[in-house]
Amino acid sequence: MFMGEYHHTIDDKGRLTIPSKIRYELGEDFIVTRGLDGCLFVYPKKAWDKIVSQYENLPNVKDARNFMRFFLSGATSTVFDKQGRINISSPLIKYADLEKDCIIIGVGDRLEIWSDKRWNSFINENEDKLSDIADNLFSSNLNI
């Protein structure tokens, strides 16, 4: 399970260091793709395979086709270099608006890579709502 928040920088060649704490969990072969809300999703290969098999069972309707185009067309199989960095493609850098400062967060079965600017905006927009969101999602069955 991925969790935590890590602050790193992306260099001019699109290389981003992944924290050593989570490299082992991610494995040697993993997938980076467009995520939702303007960030990138990073999946271990095993989790990615589960997602793809679920997509294969979706009906052939416009919404499913459009989402699959968005999600799968940006997907790239990635490996670490000797310094523990990944190379993010230009289209993904542009999509996520990655400039220099990046935030890597653990979100259960995946990592998310955010631009510092977008992450701070997300936090500022949602911070006051989180108590209500938790109440709506979990009712009284979960002690947070």
Domain boundaries, the chain: 2-116
pLDDT at 36 over 90: yes
Distance CA 32, CA 39 (A): 11
Q: How confident is the model at residue 56, as a pLDDT?
A: 86
Rounded to whole angstroms, how far apart are CA atoms 112 and 62? 27
Q: Are 58 and 99 in contact (CB under 8 A)?
A: no
Domain 2-116 sits in CATH at 3.40.1550.20
Residue in 133, 125, 122 with CA at minimum distance from that of residue 38 = 122
The answer to whether residues 68 and 58 touch, using CB atoms and an 8 Å cutoff, is yes
pLDDT computed for residue 130 by the predictor: 82
Query: What proportion of the chain, given as a percentage, has pLDDT over 70?
Result: 96
Q: Is the pLDDT of residue 141 over 70?
A: no
Q: What letter represents residue 72's amino acid?
A: L
| pLDDT digits 0-9 by tens, 61-107 | 999 999 999 999 999 999 999 999 999 999 999 999 999 999 999 99
The residue with greater pLDDT, 11 or 28, is 11
How many beta carbons lie within 10 A of that of residue 13, not counting itself? 8
